[in-house]
Structure 1
Amino acid sequence: MTDRKVAIVTAASAGIGKAIAQELAADHELVVMSRSEAISDVARELGACAVRGDVRSKDDLERLVTTALDRYGRIDAVAINTGHPPKGKLLDLTDDDWRTGYDLVLSSVMSLVKLVTPVFVRQGAGSVVAVASYAARTPEPTMPVSSVFRSALQAWIKLYATEYGPSGVRANTILPGYIATHPQDPARVATIPARRYGHPAEIGRLAAFLLSDGAGFVSGQAILADGGMVTAI
């Protein structure tokens, strides 16, 4: 049991997920999850508890939540990051591609949120951040599966925030643009007013703020962090 707040972070072995965990480590006990063996190294670095598992597995998600509760007795914040779904031309994508995208991007979030909500309601407080993509706001032809299901994720989080707000629960979505976890494409950079890709740490800091008491009046929002790339209002 602990008096410190407790956070869960998924897909935390690298990139945005790891950056979120790094930001939260200063003032949270952490339970981090990933399919990668590297999650053990991240846990040692941050003094966190590691769970090796797949966000698409309900059994693994149950084990994640049970581990947090057994070890710390509470869950205050959940940052849900996932990998990338299949890419391809719209009509070339198979039914299996779409099912994979649903399981990874949408169903995984719904399943984990369902598991932690009774804890939040019992505590009278809790916060969720789901990491989606700028393609949820403006569909990206090169990423049809991501565009469709991350848009649905944004809507689901909004509905969840509305329904559970009276119980002291908040939920928000982050819509990152291009992040420097891969080499920068000069042609793509030229379309970004900031003239660069974002850094994982910038998304990590945004997630940490949204999960904090400082964002206590922010809920149901989908926040772009894209260097000004998306022109939609």
Structure 2
Amino acid sequence: MPSLDGKIVAITGASAGIGEATARLLAERGAAVVLGARRSERIDAIAQSIREEGGLAATCVVDVTRAEDLRRLVATGVDRYGRLDVLVNSAGIAPISPLADLDTENWSAMIDVNLRGMLHGVAAALPVFREQGAGHLVTIVSVAGLTVSPTMAVYAATKNAVRTVHEGLRKESTDGVVRTTAISPGYIRTELADSMSDPRLQELTRKNMDAMGIPAAAVARAVAFAIEQPHDVEIGEINVRPTVQG
């Protein structure tokens, strides 16, 4: 099994789902992980579990809508382990609805978490990466941005915006300092449906997850694959979805 020995990785949205699975897998493969999320008791419990299994883990309470929280997350990695090799932006919400519902509050929430939260991560990590001479930005995007479905216009827009930022950063990083990887999951069994305010859409999403969803560990393996490549190899985009998903 490939080793990530010595890698220092900070992860947002690490209290559940893809973020948690990524933290556990990377720690298992030898990385030191810094778990960031709003639920302090949850990330503390996950970190304790990782340490009990022989891994290295620290925690930092993070609300990705707050730029200072991302700076603190990055600083935790640098202060604890001496540097930060990778930032995994995994935090995201999906309170989807038809545009005609005019749910402007949740439109703003998706922009703040999915897009602005990722940008806060870029702003926090990029100076550290440049000072070190190397760094890797990994963001969990979504296949929803590849084919826009009804009720998902704003959610997909935030994900497409994130993909655009990644491509822009890649083209600005031809000096070889910063690598970028955008990973787009399909139906993954996570808590994402909990963030949906429309009961009908929440029920439909859970039904689809139950019927075809694959474990969050499948996405975690894609993150590990991208990170473990030598620094002169960049895995720009990966789509991870159930084989049966149309």
Question: Is 1:222 aligned to 2:237, yes or no?
Answer: yes
Q: Is the 8 A contact 1:154 1:222 kept in 2?
A: no
Between the aligned partners of 1:186 and 1:66, the Cα distance in structure 2 is 39
Match of 2:38 in 1: 35
Between the aligned partners of 2:8 and 2:218, the Cα distance in structure 1 is 21
Match of 1:203 in 2: 219
Question: Is 1:88 aligned to 2:91, yes or no?
Answer: no
Aligned pair count?
222
Between the aligned partners of 2:8 and 2:225, the Cα distance in structure 1 is 15
Q: 1:146 aligns with which of 141, 155, 168?
A: 155
Q: Is the 8 A contact 2:97 2:103 kept in 1?
A: no
Displacement, 1:228? Answer: 4.6
Q: 1:67 to 1:216 in 2, by over 3 A?
A: same
1:39-78 aligned within 5 A: 39-47=43-51, 48-78=57-87
Paired letter, 1:222: E
RMSD: 2.2
Secondary structure, aligned partner of 1:105: helix
Secondary structure, aligned partner of 2:172: helix
Between the aligned partners of 2:130 and 2:234, the Cα distance in structure 1 is 18
Provide the TM-score with structure 2 as the length reference.
0.83
Paired letter, 2:207: D
Q: Is the 8 A contact 2:189 2:210 kept in 1?
A: no
Q: 2:20 aligns with which of 18, 21, 28?
A: 18
- Please identify runs of 4+ aligned residues in structure 1 that moved more than 3 A: 186-189, 228-231
Displacement, 1:118? Answer: 1.5
1:206-231 deviation digits (Å, cap 9, x = unpaired): 01111223574224x33211135676
Q: Is the 8 A contact 2:143 2:186 kept in 1?
A: yes
Q: 1:123 to 1:187 in 2, by over 3 A?
A: closer
Question: Is 1:122 aligned to 2:125, yes or no?
Answer: no
Q: Percent identical across equivalent pairs?
A: 32
1:13-67 deviation digits (Å, cap 9, x = unpaired): 1111001111111321111111112011011112310111211111211111111
Secondary structure, aligned partner of 2:242: coil
Q: 1:76 to 1:94 in 2, by over 3 A?
A: same
Q: 1:157 aligns with which of 163, 166, 181?
A: 166
Displacement, 1:8? Answer: 0.3
Q: Is the 8 A contact 2:187 2:208 kept in 1?
A: no
